[in-house]
Structure 1
Amino acid sequence: MAKGVFDWLRRADTKAKQTPAPRTVSRRSIAVEGRELPLVIRKLSHARRMTLRLAPDGSEARISIPAWGRIGDAEAFARDRADWLAGQLARLPATQSIAPDASLPLRGEALQIDWSESARRKPVVANGRLIVGGPIEGLTTRLQRWLEAEALSSCAEDLAHYCSRAGETVPRLSLSRAQRRWGSCAADGSIRMNWRLIMAPDFVRRSVVAHEVAHMRHFDHSPAFHAHLETLYEGDIDVANRWLKRHGRSLYALFG
């Protein structure tokens, strides 16, 4: 078994569609590089093996095990891989601050924050800069809300596009602040998208939207699902997946 599996591939909300909630959730902690790292162990009815992941922000380790698995075995599994977890923690991107002259990604482009108290509060993008005004206090909150609004607008356009290609009625769309999923499709067909995707390149965000639209017809990751996704998404889905695996964590370096 691999020492750890990072599930950066987006997934539909299969728990809402066809499986029950986790049967058991156990919260422990393990020693990693001199610190106590929270450990969350979940028993899942659909799990077939034990998988270990680190939360995108490094706040906790997570293990999923089959319903018949033992909590003690999961804890031992994590302890045996403390060195692996330490290595993953070391690779986390450094936390960045939102401040004048700092860099903020938007749709894959790094923008320099150009703040002046006398400028308009609503950010404006111009020549590689993000011009924004208002009191310095609350700058982070204002920029996050602006990014969320940009995310909702872009995802709505993407959703309408892929629903048209799929012959589906456009469902309700909302944003997510999830720490693990990039997107989800609920039992009623509504779709939630992680707002942080607005900081990634367009082809990455669009691939996630296409993925969730494909789940409106196929509630699994069967060959039929992947074949349907390939007919919807114009780009290379493997390239988009690799970008998220390689750079997805960097989207959590800002805004906590």
Structure 2
Amino acid sequence: MNRAQRGLEAFLRRKAAPPTEHVEMLALPDGGEKVLRIRRHAGARRLTLRLAPDGGEVRVTIPRWAPFSEGRDFALSRREWLAAQLAKIPQTLAIGTGSLVPYRGRDLVVAWEHRLPRRPALVGERLQLGGPEDGIAGRVRRWLESEALGLMQGDLAFYCAAADLDTPLLRLSRAQRRWGSCSSQGTVRINWRLVMAPDMVRRSVVAHEVAHLVHFDHSPRFHAFLGAIYDGDIAHADAWLKRHGRSLHVPFG
């Protein structure tokens, strides 16, 4: 078979393959609508439903043999649950003088005075800053990201030392679906919003990605290795993130 014939066969196979994704609008009980994204997945054995962390869309995963209509019916049957989950998503966090900002599991009070330096400074439980009042939110967010980078670099060095590994490159992530990731080239990415969670939660995610530098899967060996290097209670950290993780995605305004 020559190259042209192989190319034609590959084209025909792709053309014959069923589409893997379907998008439509899903009506909600309150009269509103959300984007419904239905995806076929080769490894799926059942239908699963998730709400995007920011509440922007509803995601249904179906087995590759299932029709999209089954995914739509599945979402429709769970509209009341979706409405309850949407009600839990925090609204925009208005940052101004006197506002509370989550940081390492506690709330800081934003204390703005025009005469103070523009860069935020942590003083006890107060986050003090000056500069133009209409730029407070942006400066607070940049401060949180800077704090996240410093803390996570320390976490990464700590767990790499525990794993007897060189410390790889760290990047902050703004992903909404993952708290952390590790590339095959060794770069570790951690969601900056974890700086708002208790330390043990942030550190558990970093330790998780360090364990992936040794075991690039979720095998028993991976979990054993993670348990050996993490200096806390993994189950407790995972439970916190499952219960409160969505609140970390609150938009800043």
TM-score (norm 1): 0.87
Check 1:76–1:228 CA distance in 2 against 1; reply closer, same or farther (3 A cut). Answer: same
Aligned residue type for 2:24: R
Instruction: Map 1:100-179 onto structure 2 (within 5 A).
Output: 100-179=97-176
| Alignment match, 2:189 | 192
Is the CA contact 2:91–2:251 (under 8 Å) kept in the aligned structure 1? no
| Alignment match, 2:77 | 80
| Alignment match, 2:28 | 32
Which blocks of at least 5 consecutive residues in structure 2 are unaligned? 1-18
Cα distance in 2 between the residues matched to 1:114 and 1:24:
50
Is the CA contact 1:98–1:254 (under 8 Å) kept in the aligned structure 2? no
Q: Percent identity?
A: 53
Three-state SS of the structure 2 residue aligned to 1:63 is: strand
Check 1:132–1:163 CA distance in 2 against 1; reply closer, same or farther (3 A cut). Answer: same
Cα distance in 2 between the residues matched to 1:88 and 1:169:
41
> How many pairs does the alignment contain?
234
Cα distance in 2 between the residues matched to 1:50 and 1:168:
39
Aligned residue type for 1:215: H
Greater CA drift, 57-66 or 147-156? 57-66
Aligned residue type for 1:198: V
Three-state SS of the structure 2 residue aligned to 1:57 is: coil
Report the Cα offset of residue 114 of structure 1. 0.1
Is the CA contact 1:28–1:40 (under 8 Å) kept in the aligned structure 2? yes
Match of 1:236 among 210, 233, 236: 233
| Alignment match, 2:198 | 201
Q: What's the RMSD between the two structures over aligned residues?
A: 1.5
| Alignment match, 1:16 | none
Is the CA contact 2:24–2:36 (under 8 Å) kept in the aligned structure 1? yes
Three-state SS of the structure 1 residue aligned to 2:55 is: coil
1:62 lines up with 2:59 in the alignment: yes
- Flag the structure with more relative contact order, 1 or 2, with Cα contacts below 8 A and sequence separation at least 6: 1
Check 1:168–1:65 CA distance in 2 against 1; reply closer, same or farther (3 A cut). Answer: farther
Deviations 1:95-124 (A, max 9, x none): 321111000111112110001122111111
Higher helix share: 2
Is the CA contact 1:49–1:65 (under 8 Å) kept in the aligned structure 2? yes
| Alignment match, 2:11 | none
TM-score (norm 2): 0.88
- Between structure 1 and structure 2, the one with the greater Rg is 2
1:225 lines up with 2:222 in the alignment: yes
Instruction: Map 1:241-256 onto structure 2 (within 5 A).
Output: 241-255=238-252
| Alignment match, 2:210 | 213
Report the Cα offset of residue 224 of structure 1. 1.2
